[in-house]
Structure 1
């Protein structure tokens, strides 16, 4: 694994460790899902919010099955770094559903497009500073001013798997490295 992936995985780990105790566990994933859902208040349907929470739980279970080498229900940085590549190699089935659920949760009017405010709200709730979230949106969306599910999925897949410096926008999915 190269230096760029190491930096991205370090950033991802720090976001997933919601309580900051140096390990990620199921309660971190529940807390993050709750934060994201709360970031939109009551304006999201219960079904969309539940799909997002379920996708977070599925992501946790897939990650734990791969990463929790000692079976203690917690994943430290070393376990995470060793295992996240495997989970990433199965992006479409293990990680992609989470990003899809997040996109649909953010898509206020169900038109298949997410605007800057919707994107920034979700990414900021994940733990990325709001100004960085807005900048990332600008990089990913381009001149259209909206983001499609396809654009998000491409960026997310590149974040987890790609080390090509030319794909700089996707490398900043969770803020600058």
Structure 2
């Protein structure tokens, strides 16, 4: 077992969250990401579902912005990694917030309300969040899937493992790796 998997995931998540590619994450990046998911699923931006989804992303930013140690309004890569490795960002609180936002994305992707999403639904969540390389969604789906579709429990287990997995075979380890 190695902490390398965990650190790689932290760095990958940072790269995804840095929507505008400016080297740091800010409230604008979270707003863009949430807006992308809202648009991907054709939600009315003023609908309760869209507002809950945007609120979920806002809650993550509200927590992570405390990692902005130089108070410039941006969490840089080093600040993000340090917040995770030093324990300032607690896995329990962060996962709780990511699960909330992920649950809202799952609900948007579950267009027929049967409690499941397929690869296309997961790929749409990823695209909306700025991960446009389909291979990433395919790899994640392959690691999560047991029967050709995902239920919330399967997705949630992987969201929980995203920041804690230390082994490539652990749940969450391949959620954003693309391999």
The two structures have a TM-score, normalised by structure 2, of 0.87
Contact 1:141 1:147 in 2 (8 A): yes
Report the CA distance between 1:110 and its aligned residue. Answer: 1.9
User: Equivalent residues in 2 for 1:28-177 (5 A)?
Assistant: 28-42=29-43, 46-65=47-66, 67-84=67-84, 85=87, 86-128=89-131, 129-142=133-146, 144-167=147-170, 170-176=172-178
Aligned residues of 1:44 and 1:108 also touching (Cα < 8 A)? no
How far off its partner does 1:125 sit?
2.2
Aligned length: 174
1:44 positional shift: 9.3
**Cα deviation, residue 145, structure 1:** 1.1
1:11 is the counterpart of 2:15: no
CA distance, structure 1, for counterparts of residue 57 and residue 78 of structure 2: 21
Question: 2 CA distance for matches of 1:23 and 1:171?
Answer: 23
In 1, are the aligned partners of 2:139 and 2:175 still within 8 Å (CA)?
no
Q: Tell whether the 8 Å contact from 1:121 to 1:130 is kept in structure 2 after alignment.
A: no
Q: How far apart, in 1, do the equivalents of 2:43 and 2:97 lie?
A: 28
**Structure 1: where are the runs of 5+ without partners?**
none
* Cα distance, 1:4 vs structure 2: 1.4
Post-superposition Cα deviations, 1:21-79, rounded to whole Å, max 9, x if no partner, equal 000000000011111111122489922222111000010001112x1112221100111
Once residues 10 and 95 of structure 2 are traced to their aligned partners in structure 1, the CA distance between those partners, rounded to angstroms, is: 18
Q: What secondary structure sits across from 1:161 in the alignment?
A: coil
Matches of 1:115 and 1:47, distance apart in 2: 24
TM-score (norm 1): 0.88
Gaps of 5+ in 2: none
Alpha-carbon RMSD: 2.1
Greater relative contact order (Cα < 8 A, sep 6+): 2
Classify the secondary structure of the residue corresponding to 1:108: coil
Structure that is richer in helix per residue: 1
